[in-house]
């Protein structure tokens, strides 16, 4: 790590599992933090995430590397009587501790804030939960599809009229919540710079989901009147709708009433401007079904390349609906370091998705593969002050299992 990275010298212990907590640690690692990934002897369950439908199948464990790149790996049995010896040294070493263990288990393992803060008053204890740390459901386990999507209101709104709720994109709520937790950690680090004191920061999948759904939730708070679920054949606004080209590409048209003349002229239908049904914003809304039918026929007559040329020339805002396989061919991703090289993972894992922001005068570290289970155990234990005899004793007790070979860890 170079000294000009923002978080060079920052020490992070990632005790979290799956995606959101580790995702926050990845952002810190991207900017140079030294992150230790602590896993149980059986490994973080997300190591097999790529084998669980409907997660896309591959020979390469791509989700593991995405959410755990740049980290050092330590396997630790927190249930072992001697685990506290390692845990205490980890906490004393760390600036940030990230946890997402369910509250009842956390209490048994003595991983609560009050248990560990006594060892390090400058510690930033970053806690992520499904539904918050208070209330009747504080102890419930939560995944992004249940807490971020379903319970927040998002899943009820992201569907068309007559269609049932569907499964959201894998990890999308987790990655959004990872940014929330990262923001909380950085806020606490700023406070520590001013006061010298550590903090207990927290977020939840539910809180992040409600924030993402904030416009609609705020509308409900003022008892606003909601439109029915979207029906693209009878939308509230025909020029804010989804259309399909002749070569079966869907695109989202986003046009405000003041740009309606430019759209009508650009697509070769200036006659629509003289149609009394579409004479102003109110009439456009009242006759959206009729205009949708006209636009459906028109847009369905030519391929997407034609409409891109037409809409670009008319300075109309639109978005072509792309699949992930199409997204990765978008030159914007490489030009803006949204996708970056990944070092050392092997197989087809040559590139990875970077965290979603950058500082132009403070580069990120080069992305390196995620650790194998317990890969850096001996190195980390030495950093924590254990000598060879102490390390062997921890190994013998099963508290810190021996690191497996790389081939077995990759399975």
Confidence of residue 141 (pLDDT cuts 50, 70, 90): confident
Confidence of residue 402 (pLDDT cuts 50, 70, 90): confident
pLDDT at 116 over 90: yes
**Together in a domain, 70 and 123:** yes
Helix (H) or strand (E) holding 266: helix 260-266
Q: What is the mean pLDDT of residues 279-303?
A: 96
Higher pLDDT, 125 or 2: 125
Residue at 225 is within a domain = no
Domain housing 344:
11-212+332-409
pLDDT at 77 over 50: yes
Backbone angles phi, psi at 83, to 5 degrees: -60, -30
Q: Where does 157-239 show beta strands of DSSP type E?
A: 199-204
pLDDT at 411 over 80: no
Residue 244 in 3-state DSSP? Answer: strand
CA–CA dist 317, 234 (Å, integer): 21
Residue at 394 is within a domain = yes
Confidence of residue 299 (pLDDT cuts 50, 70, 90): very high
**Together in a domain, 315 and 342:** no
Confidence of residue 406 (pLDDT cuts 50, 70, 90): low
**Together in a domain, 276 and 358:** no
**Together in a domain, 168 and 300:** no
β-pairing, 317-320 with 339-343?
unpaired
**Together in a domain, 54 and 192:** yes
Over residues 333-381, the pLDDT tens digits come to 999 999 999 999 999 999 999 999 999 989 999 999 999 999 999 999 9
For 17, 67, 148, 411, the CA distances from 49, given in Å and listed in that order, are 11, 11, 19, 11
pLDDT at 409 over 60: no
| pLDDT on residue 206 | 98
Helix (H) or strand (E) holding 253: strand 250-254
Global pTM?
0.93
**Together in a domain, 293 and 340:** no
pLDDT at 2 over 60: no
Residue 53 in 3-state DSSP? Answer: coil
Q: What is the mean pLDDT of residues 307-316?
A: 97
**Together in a domain, 259 and 111:** no
CATH of the domain at 127: 3.40.50.10540
pLDDT at 43 over 90: yes
pLDDT at 408 over 60: no
Over residues 389-401, the pLDDT tens digits come to 999 999 999 999 9
Q: How far is CA 352 from its chain centroid?
A: 14
| pLDDT on residue 24 | 98
**Together in a domain, 173 and 276:** no
| pLDDT on residue 3 | 60
**Together in a domain, 113 and 189:** yes
Residue that finishes a domain, picked among 320, 350, 379: 320
The rounded mean pLDDT for the chain is 95
Share of the chain above pLDDT 90, in %: 94
Q: What is the mean pLDDT of residues 217-246?
A: 96
pLDDT at 306 over 90: yes
Confidence of residue 86 (pLDDT cuts 50, 70, 90): very high
**Together in a domain, 306 and 345:** no
């Amino acid at each position: 790590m170079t000294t000009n990275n923002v978080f060079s010298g920052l020490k992070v212990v990632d005790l979290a599992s799956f995606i959101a907590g580790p995702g926050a640690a990845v952002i810190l690692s991207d900017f140079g933090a030294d992150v230790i990934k602590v896993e149980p002897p059986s490994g973080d369950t997300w190591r097999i995430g790529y084998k669980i439908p409907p997660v896309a199948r591959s020979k390469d464990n791509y989700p593991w590397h995405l959410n755990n790149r740049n980290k050092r790996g330590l396997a630790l049995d927190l249930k072992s009587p001697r685990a506290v010896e390692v845990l205490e040294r980890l906490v004393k070493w760390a600036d940030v501790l990230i946890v997402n263990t369910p509250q009842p288990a956390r209490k048994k393992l003595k991983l609560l804030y009050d248990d560990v803060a006594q060892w390090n008053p400058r510690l930033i204890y970053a806690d992520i939960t499904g539904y918050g740390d208070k209330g009747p459901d504080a102890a419930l386990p939560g995944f992004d599809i249940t807490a971020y999507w379903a319970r927040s209101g998002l899943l009820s709104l992201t569907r068309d009229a007559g269609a049932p709720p569907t499964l959201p994109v894998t990890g999308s709520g987790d990655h959004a919540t990872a940014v929330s937790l990262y923001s909380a950690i950085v806020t606490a680090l700023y406070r520590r710079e001013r006061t010298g004191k550590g903090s207990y920061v927290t977020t939840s999948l539910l809180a992040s989901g409600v924030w993402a759904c904030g416009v609609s939730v705020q509308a409900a708070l003022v008892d606003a009147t909601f439109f029915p679920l979207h029906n693209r054949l009878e939308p509230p606004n025909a020029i804010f709708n989804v259309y399909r080209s002749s070569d079966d590409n869907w695109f989202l048209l986003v046009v405000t009433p003041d740009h309606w003349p430019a759209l009508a002229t650009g697509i070769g239908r200036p006659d629509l401007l003289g149609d009394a049904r579409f004479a102003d914003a109110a009439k456009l809304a009242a006759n959206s079904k009729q205009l949708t039918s006209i636009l459906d026929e028109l847009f369905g007559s030519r391929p997407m390349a034609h409409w891109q040329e037409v809409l670009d020339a008319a300075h109309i805002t639109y978005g072509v609906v792309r699949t992930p396989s199409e997204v990765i061919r978008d030159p914007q991703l490489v030009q803006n370091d949204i996708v970056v090289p990944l070092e050392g993972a092997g197989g087809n894992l040559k590139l990875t998705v970077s965290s979603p922001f950058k500082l132009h005068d403070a580069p990120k570290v080069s992305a390196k593969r995620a650790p194998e289970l317990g890969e850096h155990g001996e190195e980390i234990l030495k950093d924590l002050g254990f000598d060879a005899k102490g390390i062997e004793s921890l190994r013998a007790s099963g508290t810190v299992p021996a690191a497996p070979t790389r081939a077995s860890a990759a399975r």
